[in-house]
């Protein structure tokens, strides 16, 4: 029966193959399971194909079946199942970097579990320490899970490369800025000013760091450069544009009102135990280091408003 079904599949007749196979189900037979799964694939039934393959893959722990199950689960957008298959596989094959890469991608972009993503980024970095992409991915991930010192060490390593890419230069400066050191961020950007001064992302980051560091002249230089880039058509209005004073005041009022509303909401969630202070500060775009200093400083008096009290506690 399985042979007849495989012949039907080779002729593109998935329905006949399924009818033949389902007359004599054999879920413990790897040959039967794979043909049945392939019939589902021919009908573009990805999730059903996973349901046939997965039990056999988990029972036999056969690497090929685990990989195929994981790949199909990913295509079917069953990312938790894909991660489970890949995790089992890398336990048996710890040096399988493509599967570690798949896991890092799933945890970063699909399951939003950066702690687990960091595990696999570390494995890839340890296996290929000279690969700058592995180093950069790990640095970005560590910064996002609030391990700035480890992240900075990796960024510093990348910055020593000949002609480091813009992503490295900006990532290091933004991390320094978030750690409360805009002066260091500006110094790190100055090293690459001649190389990236025609790039609007670099100039915007430079201007932000300069203003935060109290370097008004440097910030003004960046503003002039942005205006020049805009006039040349290198900067879209969504990125940067000059606005009339009245429009700017109206934008500021709306932004201030939104910030107040978000502040009240985040800290109301915090008071009720549904949001930790780190998350509240992250959602408010406050650097964690600065949030900690603000919340743990000595104060002689704090107002009784619940939101205000929540702002100064952990």
39-48: pLDDT as tens digits: 999 999 999 9
Q: What is the pLDDT of residue 239?
A: 59
What confidence category does residue 247 fall into, taking pLDDT thresholds of 50, 70 and 90? Answer: low
pLDDT of residue 241 exceeding 60:
no
The rounded distance, in Å, linking the Cα atoms of 207 and 218 is 7
pLDDT of residue 97 exceeding 90:
yes
- What's the pTM? 0.74
Q: What is the CA radius of gyration of the chain?
A: 27
Q: Which of 59-68, 251-260, 293-302 has the lowest mean pLDDT?
A: 251-260
161: tokens are: 């490369």
Q: What is the pLDDT of residue 85?
A: 98
242-259: average pLDDT: 70
The rounded distance, in Å, linking the Cα atoms of 166 and 252 is 31
């Amino acid at each position: 029966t399985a042979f007849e079904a495989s012949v039907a599949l080779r002729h593109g007749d998935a329905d006949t193959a399924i009818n033949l196979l389902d007359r004599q189900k054999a879920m413990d037979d790897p040959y039967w399971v794979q043909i049945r799964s392939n019939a589902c694939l021919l009908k573009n039934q990805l999730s059903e194909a996973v349901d046939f393959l997965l039990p056999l893959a988990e029972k036999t722990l056969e690497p090929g079946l685990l990989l195929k199950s994981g790949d199909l689960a990913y295509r079917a957008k069953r990312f938790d199942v894909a991660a489970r298959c890949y995790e089992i596989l890398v336990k048996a094959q710890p040096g399988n970097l493509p599967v570690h890469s798949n896991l890092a991608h799933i945890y970063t972009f699909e399951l939003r579990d950066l702690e687990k993503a960091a595990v696999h980024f570390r494995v890839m970095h340890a296996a290929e320490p000279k690969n700058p992409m592995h180093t950069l991915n790990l640095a970005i991930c560590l910064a996002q899970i609030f391990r700035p010192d480890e992240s900075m060490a990796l960024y510093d390593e990348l910055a020593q490369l000949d002609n480091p890419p813009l992503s490295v230069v900006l990532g290091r400066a933004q991390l320094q800025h978030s750690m409360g050191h805009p002066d260091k961020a500006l110094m790190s950007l100055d090293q690459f000013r001649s190389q990236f001064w025609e790039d609007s992302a670099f100039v915007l980051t430079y201007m932000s760091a300069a203003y935060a560091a109290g370097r008004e002249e440097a910030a003004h230089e960046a503003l002039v450069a942005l205006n020049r880039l805009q006039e040349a058509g290198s900067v879209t209005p969504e990125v940067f544009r000059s606005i009339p004073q009245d429009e700017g005041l109206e934008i500021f009022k709306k932004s201030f009102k939104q910030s107040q509303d978000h502040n009240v909401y985040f800290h109301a969630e915090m008071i009720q135990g549904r949001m930790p202070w780190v998350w509240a500060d992250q959602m408010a775009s406050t650097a964690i280091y600065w949030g900690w200093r603000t919340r743990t400083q000595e104060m002689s008096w704090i107002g009784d408003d619940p939101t205000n009290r929540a702002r100064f506690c952990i």
